[in-house]
Every structure is written in structure tokens, then in C-alpha cells.
Amino acid sequence: MSEIFKDTKELEEFFKNLGIEYRFSCYYEKNGEGCHLLGEYMSKIEADLKRSSKVFKDNCDDNRFGRSCTQYGISLLQGRGCDPDVKKALEYFGRGCQLGDNEGCFYSGQLLSGSDAQYKDAIEPNIKKSVEQLAKGCEMSENGIIAAECCFYVHSFYLLGKNGCEKDLSKALKFGIKGCELDNLESCNNLSQMYALGMGTPKDEGLAKKYRNKSIDMMEQISNYRNIETQRT
């Protein structure tokens, strides 16, 4: 960015105008996307977490903007700009999920699964609802990384019978395939073993090899990326 702007004053003017643009979009045009961007701007550029969390809350409540519901839930969970409230965070994560934000589905599913001991006293685990939320997030492709994580968690619950979820290898296979399609490494690894051993499906060495090779390719990509980052530092 320093190459684009000639000096610090020009950069400051750019950010000032950006804030004006987001405020106009939010407060005058009542645009949900604009309000969400304003909340991000207040948080990251102005470092005003209190006002930022209020913008996210209002954008969720008034404009039914899913990403803002989830972001306000994160603020509540972490106590960033507002008092921490895990139960209320769960409520807003659920609203985010309902309004099409799969990150809301992910956080809601995680809290309801009871997998995090930190929140067990505040949130009563509900594995059925947890799986529903995560499965919904798995089917949303807008945020592929989060969708892949949602798929993997449902896959692992059914594969191992985790957190009180009834073991179901056919469902584990279904969500494993979806997770691997979205490039989740653990899902691909597990699929290779399931096809090799005939878990929830007839044995198929061809498919076992396919998923094993994809796992190897992904691990090589991760290793190459880490090597590049190490060289940069």
C-alpha cells in the first residue's frame, strides 16, 4: 500500500474518506453490507471496539445481516467492546447461521457440541442441534474454509460417535466426501482409510488411493507454503 500512496497524509486521507463512505452507506442508505464494513472499519482502523460491536448488533437486529450477527456473537464471546455473555453469543451465532452465514453455524455448532470445556457450565450441550448447525454450515459454499471445517466436525462426530452423537459410518462417509471436496486434509485422510478398510462403504482401493494421493498433495502444498514463509522471515 505504501507504493500506491505517495505519503502518510495521502494514506490518512484515503482512510478518512473510506470511513465517510461506509457511514453514508450504513446510516443513510441502510445498507447491510455497508454497515458491516463500517463495523470492521471501526474495529480495525479506528480501534473503537465498543462502537464497532454496537454497529454489528444493530446491523443484525435491524437489517438481518448474517455476518454481523456472527461478528457480534464473537464480540460477546470474547468480551470485545461489550460485556462477555456466552449464552447471548450462542443466540447471535444461531441467528447468523439462520441468515446464511456459515461461520455462525460453525460457532453455534461448536458451542452446542460441548467439546469446549470452557463453556460447558454456561451452555448445555445439545449434540442433535450441534450437528444440525454444523451440517447447515457444511452446505454453505460462500466461505469454503469454514464450510470445510463444518463438514469435518460432522464427519468426525458420526465416524467416532463423539460428544454423544450416535455413530453412523454412512453419514460419516457423506460428510467426509464433502469436506475433502472442500480441501479439508483430515477428511481426505479419513476417507482413504474408510475406503481401504470398508468402513461405511464397500472396500475400494481405487478410491482409497485417490483420497490418499489428494492428502499427500495437500500436505506437500502446506509444507511448501511453510518453507516459503520461513524464507521470507
Point out the least confidently predicted range of 60-69, 82-91, 116-125, 211-220: 116-125
**Which H helix or E strand runs over 165?**
none
Measured over the CA atoms of residue 222, residue 150, residue 52 and residue 5, the dihedral's sign is positive
Q: Per the structure block, which three cell numbers stand in for 25?
A: 452507506
Please name the residue that has the C-alpha cell 452507506: 25
Taking alpha carbons only, the member of 86, 70, 74 closest to residue 119 is: 86
In angstroms, the first-to-last Cα distance of the chain is 20
Measured over the CA atoms of residue 170, residue 155, residue 69 and residue 115, the dihedral's sign is positive
- CA 67 from chain centre, in angstroms, equals 10
Residue-averaged pLDDT of the chain: 91
Q: What is the mean pLDDT of residues 132-153?
A: 92
What's the rounded Cα separation, in Å, for the pair 14 and 78?
Answer: 31
pLDDT for the residue numbered 155 = 97
Amino acid of residue 143: N
Judge whether residue 225 has pLDDT over 80. Answer: no
Who contacts 37 (Cβ-Cβ below 8 Å, separation ≥6)? 22, 25, 26
Q: What is the mean pLDDT of residues 10-18?
A: 79
Q: What is the mean pLDDT of residues 27-49?
A: 95
Asked if 185 contacts 149 with a C-beta cutoff of 8 angstroms, the reply is no
pLDDT for the residue numbered 5 = 53
pLDDT for the residue numbered 118 = 86
pLDDT for the residue numbered 226 = 67
Q: Pick the residue with more confidence: 114 or 208?
A: 208
Q: What is the mean pLDDT of residues 191-213?
A: 97
Other Cβ atoms closer than 10 A to 12: 11
What's the rounded Cα separation, in Å, for the pair 180 and 195?
Answer: 14
pLDDT band at residue 143, thresholds of 50, 70 and 90?
Answer: confident
